[in-house]
Structure 1
Amino acid sequence: MRQFWKGPLLLLLSLPLLGCSFAYDQGVRLEAEERWEEASISYREAVVANPDNSIYHEALQRVNRQAAQENLQRYREHLAAGEGVKAFARLQAVRQQDPDLAEVAEEEKLWSHVLLSGRVRFEFEQLQTNVRLADEMQLQIRFNTPAGKTISAPISSESGIFFVEDLTYRQNPQIFAQYSVQSIGLQLVRSEPSGLSRREYQKFIDFREIQPLRVQGQLDFPTTMVPSRYLISDRSRVLLRQQNPQEWSPPRLVQYELLLQGDRIAVRSTDQRREFAADILYWNLEDQRALLDFGVYDLRFQKENRNWTIRRQDYQEPTDDYLLELAHNLALSSYFFHSGIAYPFVAQP
């Protein structure tokens, strides 16, 4: 009886080792073919299954260094092509594969992150009345970036909150003042009789692809490290700000200038309005991160003119501040610290 169980028992005990050996052997083959990323995956599987095997660890480190060089080259290519998101993803891969590579640490210092966020309040009865139903509908806000591109953020149908991240490379943080709202609307997907789907973007507010005609002055950003402060604890000042209470139907052409005035950003524009611009800029020197707060927008449909109007709302109570809710999103927590100065946008006659 003992002899009967001996063979199957040895087989069961050897299965994990066979798995390790297979992953390692596959890594050896892929490494010989200079398929560094794939070899790294195989060697990592072998290390996870047998963490005490020094040969497996050495093999993983060896191909990771090669994969890091390959990703570094791809990083440079994406950077040259203006593909910032892809480039930064490659840089992060290099950081994981070869943490001691000096060039990575230097390059990371040249990148800044920005979060654009706010809230849009609709009268949903008006929205449903004036939009033809579709198979899929998503409220959306689109932004103009300083680089001349468009980025989009979904607007939550429950809370009205929106947010989207962007990256900049080798830019002075003053560049963040140049982000602007391009449009607010509804992304629709409708099924055609042919079986294909047709996408349509119905704009309620359209500022178009605008850029400042001129940017003058400087903002007083800290040049030395200061202790970061939790942004939410400083938000009480927001309650004191008075926004323009009048509803506004933007003209077909909005033109504006930015005047950077130390601790504030003055906006000189058509109709002396600034709803297309952010409301407050926060900057964290330590983490190279910015938060662009666009405030709370109120959109209404005017039956007599058959158009939508926009205005930025005042905060009447602390609970009106959407950032209190957004701060619960742990994935965005790094954006809720700043270097002690909030830069408000103000209308300039």
Structure 2
Amino acid sequence: MIQPSTRPLFGMILLALASCAPGQSRAPAEGSAGGPAFSPASADAKPAADQILLAPRYVAGYSDYIEFKQDVTQTQSERGAPDVTAGLKRLYGMIRRVESASKDGATLTLTLDRAMHEKWSMYLRRWYDSDRHDNTDELPILSRALNIVLHRVFQFQVNKRLEVVDVQVPDDLEKAIIETQDGFFAPEVQRDFSAQRLKINWFLMPGALYADRPVKVGDSWKNWVEDQLPLQGPARMHFECKLEKLEGPPGKRVATVSFKGALELTGDLSKLDRFARSYQSEWDGVATFDEARSEYTRRIQQTRTRLMFAGKAADPKTPPPDQLLFLKVDQSYRVLTMDERMNEQKSLAAASQPKATSQPAPAPTIQP
């Protein structure tokens, strides 16, 4: 009989998660932070009363807090063995600052302000949250790598077409993570903070929901994001978006946008084995655009992924049976003001303080 194993679970999660996750310039204007502002929307775009321009606006000197969270449940199915379930949760919170803005683009920095990871299976549960004091990371397999990245600064340059043309990662970061000698968790952190994943998760994925023209309720538009998967190579994430609702007074309206999409492998499929070709991923979700802030402040998304990989046979002479891997990823993205972030951080820290004991302290021992 084939014995279930959890060894490949987290490794396959990391490979699958590697996939989860246009316009012209407007003349600079003074922003709320006192500096020039940049928006990729065309200066000629003049929305009608029933339309809205879904485009970001970056104001030099402005700072806020953005948070990206994933809740992953993985089921490994193998013929002749019970299903094995495991999962992870991860959250990264960044302080975003617009360093400069002009008619040609903007330069922004992201500083990691919060990091949370939780891993669980039928055998263990470990979690670490930099905002809390009651962590269970005794080993510590999670905090060691995360604390290396905490408070590090990453710089991005965006052009007038909202393309990320430059990403700067601290030179010593990769080496410092590798030197933790943690082969289980450090590679995941290393991938999360690579230039490619930072660009995808923090700019291109949120940017896929923007429209390149004014839209009204019922209008639809499409976008895509190019990616590079570890095993499958080049891929394209297709997004289909629709404006569902538009509420509030002019200048302060809130737009509700639904979206769905699927991943397309765009490389030479003949060079992939059948396991790599089996990769399928689709998603749907809803996002909220704040007209006053000119950005999406909330986004929730569920991604469903399916792939096959070679199983492990009890008898070395017997070809291993195929295994199926199903992943469900509930993902969220939100934007807070710095005051909101500070209040939430204080609340989390206070709630996780060790509780005072009601027992009196033992009397000191007096040595003769």
Q: TM-score range by the shorter chain?
A: under 0.3
Larger strand percent? 2
Report the TM-score, using the length of structure 1 for normalisation. 0.27
Larger helix percent? 1
Larger radius of gyration: 1
Report the TM-score, using the length of structure 2 for normalisation. 0.26
| Structure with higher RCO (Cα < 8 A, 6+ apart) | 2
